[in-house]
């Protein structure tokens, strides 16, 4: 008899624990599905956003697929909020249900409520940009041909173009693109298995990170249509009107300062070097035409052009780098510049880093083209505007908010 009297409250206690445990387990399952749904919904690619895909619809479909049991209510909504000083869209999810009890019902508690919520946003932390093709619609802005390999293991590469399935394009089985990350709004084509790590859809079209940069204009002409043919020459900073041609095995040193070139900078079968130097390609004819050139240039450490080794006016240009050593320590800002870059062999690059903001590039030729990107090792300052540009690729590009 004593056992029976004691056993009743123990039995009730154990039954209540089972009710609570079952309810907690169901709530955890709902929460896990809700987390997964808001992450899937907020992490749309730029292509999906452009097509009008609704993050709420994605979240609802994702939740229904992962948690098919009927609940009292499930809803999702998007709200713009300020997180870490940045306005971002936050996808919220909420699920409610009531779990029927067994033993607790004997005590008058027939149901236990389940209220679960979750929220997710795109990650606000961004990576530095190393190579950015800015054109927003044309194909082949990150193109490889012939047998060239681009080796840039520390480099974030980004293609803004929305051209469907033809932005990143290794044309042949001998083309390889090796980077830290590769993203493109319009994705890619051909031998994408040769892209390492795998190409990912970019989540957004990025604005020009250096749109606020003030580009120096020309002054009075220090020289006009200047041609340096052979010999060793030291060039003083200033404005070179009509372009600058360096040819016939010339060895040219750019002295410290800013060189404004109102025309084409042509280097043929010659070498150039310089530290604390910025080259400015000014006007509608400003462009690069290098053939069998050996160029070793280093950006300034201080001043308005700190970290900028080559800049150009924001006008269209066609540029050619052929069989040349392109050893540029700093940022190359030619946002409307189209490049054909024909590599030969394996150029020796000493620069700790370079960052390219251009319209687009076609890499051709053979061998291995290295692009170094270790600004943390460099005495040349990496421009702040380029430090937080590239969104984190893939599912990890979104984060849960608690």
Q: Could you tell me if 366 and 148 are in contact, meaning their C-beta atoms sit under 8 angstroms apart?
A: yes
Residue 340 confidence (pLDDT) above 60? yes
The pair of three-digit structure tokens given for residue 168, joined into one six-digit string? 């990143």
Q: What percent of the chain has pLDDT over 90?
A: 81
Residue 188 confidence (pLDDT) above 90? yes
The pair of three-digit structure tokens given for residue 28, joined into one six-digit string? 């955890």
Q: Which residues contact 20 (CB under 8 A, 6 or more apart)?
A: 112
Span 330-347, average pLDDT: 99
The burial of 20, by beta-carbon neighbours within 10 Å (0-12 exposed, 13-18 middle, 19 or more buried), is given as middle
Q: Which residues contact 40 (CB under 8 A, 6 or more apart)?
A: 58, 59, 62
**Mean of the per-residue pLDDT values of the chain:** 93
- Please give the C-alpha separations between residue 106 and each of 124, 127, 158, 354, 385, in angstroms, as whole numbers: 51, 58, 63, 73, 66
DSSP state of 373: B
Please report the pLDDT score of residue 394 as a whole number.
55
Give the helix/strand (H/E) hosting 48.
helix 46-50
Please report the pLDDT score of residue 19 as a whole number.
82
What's the predicted TM-score (pTM) here?
Answer: 0.78
Helix, strand, coil fractions of the chain, as percent rounded to 5: 20, 45, 35
Q: Is the bond preceding 197 in cis, omega lying within 30 degrees of 0?
A: yes
Span 51-65, average pLDDT: 95
Span 48-73, average pLDDT: 93
Residue 191 confidence (pLDDT) above 50? yes
Please report the pLDDT score of residue 402 as a whole number.
66
Please report the pLDDT score of residue 12 as a whole number.
47
Q: Could you read off the pLDDT of 123-164 as tens digits, one per residue?
A: 767 899 999 999 999 999 999 999 999 999 999 999 999 999
Other C-beta atoms lying within 10 Å of the C-beta of residue 399: 18
- Please give the C-alpha separations between residue 32 and each of 90, 94, 100, 113, 118, in angstroms, as whole numbers: 18, 12, 21, 17, 9
């Amino acid at each position: 008899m004593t056992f029976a009297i004691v056993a009743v409250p123990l039995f009730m206690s154990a039954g209540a624990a089972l009710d609570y445990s079952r309810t907690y387990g169901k709530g955890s399952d709902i929460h896990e599905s809700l987390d997964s749904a808001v992450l899937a919904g907020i992490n749309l690619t730029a292509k999906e956003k452009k097509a009008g895909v609704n993050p709420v619809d994605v979240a609802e479909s994702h939740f229904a697929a992962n948690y098919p049991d009927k609940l009292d209510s499930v809803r999702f909504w998007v709200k713009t909020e300020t997180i870490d000083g940045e306005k971002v869209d936050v996808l919220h999810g909420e699920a409610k249900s009531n779990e029927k009890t067994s033993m607790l019902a004997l005590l008058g508690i027939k149901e236990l409520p389940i209220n679960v919520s979750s929220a997710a946003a795109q990650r606000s932390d961004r990576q530095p940009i190393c190579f950015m093709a800015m054109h927003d619609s044309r194909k082949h802005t990150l193109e490889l041909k012939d047998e060239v390999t681009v080796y840039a293991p520390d480099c974030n590469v980004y293609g803004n173009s929305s051209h469907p399935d033809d932005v990143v394009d290794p044309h042949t089985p001998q083309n390889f693109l090796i980077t830290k990350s590769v993203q493109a709004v319009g994705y890619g084509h051909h031998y994408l298995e040769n892209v390492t790590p795998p190409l990912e859809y970019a989540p957004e079209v990025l604005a020009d990170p250096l749109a606020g940069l003030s580009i120096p204009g020309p002054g009075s002409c220090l020289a006009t249509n200047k041609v340096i043919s052979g010999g060793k020459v030291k060039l003083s900073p200033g404005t070179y009107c009509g372009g600058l041609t360096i040819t016939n095995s010339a060895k040219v040193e750019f002295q410290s300062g800013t060189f404004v070139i109102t025309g084409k900078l042509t280097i043929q079968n010659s070498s150039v070097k310089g530290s604390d130097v910025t080259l400015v390609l000014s006007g509608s004819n400003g462009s690069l035409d290098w053939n069998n050139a050996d160029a070793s240039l280093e950006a300034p450490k201080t001043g308005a052009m700190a970290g900028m080794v080559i800049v150009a006016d924001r006008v269209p240009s066609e540029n050619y780098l052929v069989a040349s050593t392109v050893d540029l320590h700093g940022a190359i800002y030619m946002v409307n510049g189209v490049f054909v870059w024909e590599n030969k062999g394996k150029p020796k690059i000493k620069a700790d880093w370079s960052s390219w903001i251009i319209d687009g590039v076609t890499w051709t030729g053979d061998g291995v083209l290295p692009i170094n990107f270790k600004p943390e090792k460099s005495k040349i300052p990496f421009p702040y505007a380029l430090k937080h540009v590239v969104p984190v690729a893939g599912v990890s590009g979104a984060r849960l908010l608690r």
